[in-house]
């Protein structure tokens, strides 16, 4: 949305607005249709510098397609994000598209049907990114396998410790049982000896 309010802190605001409107009329005129891509890019960039979201969006499209300027996906992404922040909702889909292109290495995909020629540098860069992605994928797989192996080893060790603990508990239980049995045996022996001693004492008393 254009802001036509006059700001005293920006004395050249009205003058800049008139320049932008004039540039827009020039671009939209029949004569401007014959202008070169470079001239169209120059005028669009001039309009985008005023901070209008639609102009920034169109400039991003030019950067994405390499129209009137060298193709620059990073710059296009920056402008799409700026346009979206200013309220231009159409830029949201372009942001996702650019990010996907940059992640997949598909640098030759553009908004229009015209595709720039593939150069050795772009091909090498795409191959490098593809190799890096493959390396990253293999590292993630290796890390996941290592985690799974570590988890299996931990579970095996835990089961082993549990089994050892079970054996120790059984041995302790058996030991306590044997201890009670020996204690009972000693008590019974002591009881029999006491009874024997009493019997002998009683017999001696009767003799006397």
Q: What ranges do the domains of the chain cover?
A: 13-116
Supply the pTM of this predicted model. 0.39
pLDDT of the residue at 34: 58
pLDDT of the residue at 79: 94
Can you give the length of the chain in residues? 208
Residues 6 or more apart in contact with residue 14 via CB below 8 angstroms: 6
pLDDT of the residue at 102: 84
Residues (pLDDT < 70) of the chain are 1-34, 106-122, 208
CB count within 10 Å of CB 47 equals: 20
* Dist CA 159 CA 85 (whole Å): 56
SS3 state at 160: helix
> DSSP label at 67?
S
Q: What percent of the chain has pLDDT over 70?
A: 74
Alpha-helix runs per DSSP H in 29-119 = 37-48, 53-65, 73-85, 91-104
pLDDT of the residue at 32: 43
* Dist CA 93 CA 61 (whole Å): 12
Summary mean pLDDT of the chain: 78
> DSSP label at 112?
S
pLDDT of the residue at 80: 93
pLDDT of the residue at 19: 52
Options 2.40.128.720, 1.10.1060.10, 1.20.58.2240, 1.25.40.10; CATH of 13-116:
1.25.40.10
């Amino acid at each position: 949305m254009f802001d036509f309010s006059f700001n005293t802190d920006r004395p050249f605001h009205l003058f800049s607005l008139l320049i932008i409107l004039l540039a827009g009329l020039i671009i939209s005129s029949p004569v401007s249709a014959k202008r070169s891509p470079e001239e169209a890019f120059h005028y669009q960039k001039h309009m985008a510098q005023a901070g209008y979201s639609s102009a920034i969006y169109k400039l991003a499209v030019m950067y994405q397609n390499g129209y009137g300027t060298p193709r620059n996906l990073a710059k296009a992404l920056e402008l799409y994000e700026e346009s979206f922040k200013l309220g231009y909702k159409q830029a949201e889909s372009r942001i996702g598209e650019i990010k996907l292109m940059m992640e997949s290495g598909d640098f030759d995909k553009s908004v229009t049907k015209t595709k720039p020629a593939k150069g050795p540098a772009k091909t090498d860069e795409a191959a490098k990114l593809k190799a890096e992605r493959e390396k990253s994928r293999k590292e993630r797989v290796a890390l996941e396998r290592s985690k799974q192996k570590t988890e299996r080893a931990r579970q095996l060790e835990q089961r082993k410790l549990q089994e050892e603990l079970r054996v120790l508990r059984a041995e302790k239980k058996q030991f306590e049982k044997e201890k009670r049995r020996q204690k009972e045996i000693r008590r019974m022996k002591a009881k029999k000896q006491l009874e024997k001693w009493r019997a002998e004492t009683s017999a001696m008393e009767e003799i006397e």
